[in-house]
A = this chain, B = another copy of it.
Amino acid sequence: MLAARDTDAVHAWLARTAEHSWMNVERVPLDGLAGWLTEPGTGNLRHHTGRFFSVESLAVDLPGTPVPHWSQPIINQPEIGILGILVREVDGVLHCLMQAKHEPGNANGLQLSPTVQATRSNYTRVHQGKPIPYLEHFRDTSGHHVLVDIRQSEQGAWFYRKRNRNMVVEVDGAIEVREGFRWFTLGEIAGLMTVPDLVNMDARTVLACLPGGGAALARAAADPFSEALVRSGDPATPGVHTTGEVLSWITEVRTRTDLRVALGPLAGLPDWTREDGVIAHRSGGFFTVVGVDVRAGGREVGTWSQPMIEPVGTGVIAFLVKEIGGVLHVLTHARTEAGYADVTELAPTVQCVPETHDHLPVRPRFLDEVLGSTRIRFDAVLSEEGGRFLGARNRYLVVETDAEVARDDPEYRWLTLHQYEELLRHSFYVNIQARSLLLCLRSLVPRG
């Protein structure tokens, strides 16, 4: 935890930055969205340039499950963007260059964001904006030390096979700190994780991929939970399953899960209506596709319009954790989402919007234990990506448990933090919610 005065200093910096940077967001009907058109025939929403992204539909077959077939609107954004954080070492301590950034979907204005957060359309300058600060360090990494460089997925329930390139690049020597940017140590960021809606989703996914981003910096732990947490990040500590066993389980799940998806036209989607300028589910559940006009100052483009996904309700994203043999283990769920590039990824123990389950046949396993627990180690409401999602917020929880799970449970395994770290070197093993939550969990590692 940061001392209150450190948190105050960050808020003071954000307030100063906000004096030079503002954003107004106004809801408008999808039908009159400037620069966007509803394609005749398909009804798909796309930008007149054909770039950025489109909203289409996805027909999903997942036989043998409680909901074996459905169709939904989905964002198709085939471009791979860059989420990049510049770091430098000062007196042996890693510092991250973070940006205070507005996004139209942010509930609260500025959030702490990566140094660079750019779609390919951004950085090839389709909208003719100003150049993106610091981008050159990520587009040409020669001569720099690249600590992280891996494509990772994003929300598979809302995006069709979206992936971004998560990068951490270390620079030598001084670089100019521009207006709206500030160096933070990893410890400072850890201390800010519980501040609601402060560290943005893109910052969380990039930092989660940073090796040794927790235990390596640990000082002697003062209590058994911290000791077990530190041990969990130690490469020398075995888990209850070998990494080979975990990989074999992932192979088994991805092989047996018969997911079939097909992109299609947004027009005529069963159970979804397009009325009053929005696209909504007949039940009122899940999410709505809405339009916004954005006016921004202190950013590369002054005004634009775009469709956004506005989810219904606040989600619950939780890890159950347990000390096993002195090592903290995290209960991971093999979760299939229609938009994943490779069928199934490792997800939090619980990931759902409780209200949505009013419309679905099954109550999520472990949800009631999480909501009823008194052994909460981490609890904060954080925002999802404000560039595509309007007011999407989730309650992130880390909860201690005594739950017993069968060694060969088809859907769950206990993993150590180090095993997650090994998997995070590769694409598409750990989903975006689990990545965020790993960062939350690692923020509990005691620091000097």
Enumerate chain A interface residues (CB-CB to B < 8 A). Answer: 78, 80, 141-142, 146-147, 149-151, 165, 244-245, 247-248, 251-252, 254-255, 260, 341-342, 408, 425-427
Instruction: Point out the residue from B80, B141, B247, B427 that lies within 8 Å of A149, measured CB to CB.
Output: B247
Our pick among B78, B147, B149, B251 for the contact of A150 (Cβ within 8 Å) is B251
Q: How many copies does the complex hold?
A: 2
Q: How far is the CB of A422 from chain B (nearest CB, A)?
A: 10
A426 to B141, CA, bound (A): 25
* A413 smallest CB distance to B (angstroms): 14
- Distance, CA A425 to CA B78, complexed state (A): 27
Complex formed: what's the CA distance from A414 to B146 in Å? 18
Is B255 within 8 A of A80, CB to CB? yes
Alpha-carbon distance A245/B260, docked complex (angstroms): 35
Q: A147-B244, A149-B244 are in contact. List 16 more A-B contacts (CB 8 A).
A: A78-B260, A80-B255, A146-B244, A146-B245, A149-B248, A149-B251, A150-B247, A151-B254, A151-B255, A165-B251, A244-B425, A247-B425, A341-B341, A341-B342, A342-B427, A426-B426
Alpha-carbon distance A228/B49, docked complex (angstroms): 54
Residue pair B248, A146 in contact (C-beta under 8 Å): yes
- Tell me the minimal C-beta distance from A148 to chain B in angstroms: 9
Q: List 23 A-B contacts (CB under 8 A).
A: A78-B260, A80-B255, A141-B248, A142-B408, A146-B244, A146-B245, A146-B248, A147-B244, A149-B244, A149-B247, A149-B248, A149-B251, A150-B251, A151-B251, A151-B254, A151-B255, A244-B425, A247-B425, A247-B426, A251-B427, A341-B341, A341-B342, A426-B426
Tell me how far the C-beta of A3 lies from the nearest C-beta in chain B, rounded to whole angstroms. 35
Residue among A251, A254, A342, A408 with max Cβ neighbours from chain B (10 Å): A251
Establish whether residues B341 and A165, one from each chain, have CB atoms under 8 Å apart when the complex forms: no
Write the nearest CB–CB distance from A13 to chain B, whole angstroms: 32
Report the bound CA distance from A244 to B146 in whole Å. 8
CB proximity of A398 to chain B, nearest CB, Å = 28
Residues of chain B lying within 8 A (CB to CB) of residue A248: 141, 146, 149
Chain B residues with CB under 8 A of A252 = 149
Closest CB in chain B relative to A265 CB, distance in Å? 15
In the bound complex, CA of A342 to CA of B428 (Å): 11
Could you say which residues of chain B place their CB within 8 Å of the CB of A244?
A: 146-147, 149, 425
The answer for the CA separation of A165 and B255 in the assembled complex, in Å, is 8
The interface residues of chain B lying within 8 Å CB-to-CB of A427 are: 251, 342
Q: What is the minimal beta-carbon distance from A420 to any residue of chain B, in angstroms? A: 15
A425 to B422, CA, bound (A): 12
A142–B409 CA distance with the chains assembled, in angstroms: 12
The 3 A-B residue pairs with the shortest CB-CB distance, nearest first, are A149-B248, A80-B255, A149-B251
CB distance from A373 to the nearest CB of B (A): 32
Instruction: Give Cα A93 to B421, complex, Å.
Output: 34
Q: A207: shortest Cβ distance to chain B, in Å?
A: 17
Chain B residues in 8 Å Cβ range of A147: 244
Cα distance A142–B410 when bound, in Å?
Answer: 12
In the assembled complex, the CB of A246 is this many whole angstroms from the nearest CB of chain B, namely 11
Interface centre among A142, A151, A260 (most CB of B within 10 A): A151
| Complex CA–CA separation, A425 to B245 (angstroms) | 11
For A251, the chain B residues whose CB sits under 8 A away are 149-151, 165, 427
